[in-house]
Structure 1
Amino acid sequence: MSIRIGNSCINCDNLLENENCKVHGVKVSTSYTCDSFEMKAALKNDPNCDTCARYQGPTCANPQKATPGMLCSHWAPQNATA
């Protein structure tokens, strides 16, 4: 069994704005993936505080130290916008 980090619906080109899959016609979440997965043409892969979903939020692991450009082991990518 392989582990695939980026193959969730959030990174799939078939995900519509209302969190529905245009291939299967069902509501999905970030934990779903399938064999019809089509990677979005361009993902932002710039791991630092500026692109972290936790930056300046309640789940930031280093709120007193976090600054733009910094990277920590708790980095969580922000949602890609189409």
Structure 2
Amino acid sequence: MAIRLGNNCQNCENLKADKVCKVHGVEVSGNYTCDQFEMKAALKDDRNCTTCLRYEREDCANPQHAAPGMMCASWAPNRVSA
């Protein structure tokens, strides 16, 4: 089974930071989609130690090796946005 991005509000360029649709003027979530859906032009894929929630914290899986640009299997996003 393939993994795909959903045609939902979280992947739509009309979603504002406050989770309000620019087209319809209502608060929405990832459970919604509409006929005016427009896929975001680019999705951010910046996964490395500096974007990890655990970077320079006690719960870092690899504190001796963690450095900007590196990646590990325990990466967790430090900020999530739509």
TM-score (norm 2): 0.53
Give the conservation status (yes or no) of the 8 Å contact 1:15–1:22. Answer: yes
SS at match of 1:68: coil
The answer for the alignment partner of 1:67 in structure 2 is: 67
Following the alignment from structure 2 to structure 1, what is the Cα–Cα distance between the partners of residues 43 and 63? 29
Q: Residues 1-82 of structure 1: matches in 2 within 5 Å?
A: 3-4=3-4, 6-7=5-6, 9-24=9-24, 25-28=26-29, 32-36=30-34, 37-52=37-52, 54-56=53-55, 61-62=60-61, 64-65=63-64, 66-77=66-77, 78-79=79-80
Following the alignment from structure 2 to structure 1, what is the Cα–Cα distance between the partners of residues 31 and 58? 25
| 1:14 Cα offset (Å) | 1.6
Higher-Rg structure is: 2
- Can you list the C-alpha shifts for 1:30-80, whole angstroms capped at 9, x where unaligned? xx154444322122223211233x143769542624221111123344446
Aligned pair count reads 76
Which consecutive residues of structure 1, in runs of 5 or more, have no partner in the other structure? none
Q: CA RMSD in A?
A: 3.6
Overall identity of the aligned pairs, in %: 43
SS at match of 2:50: helix
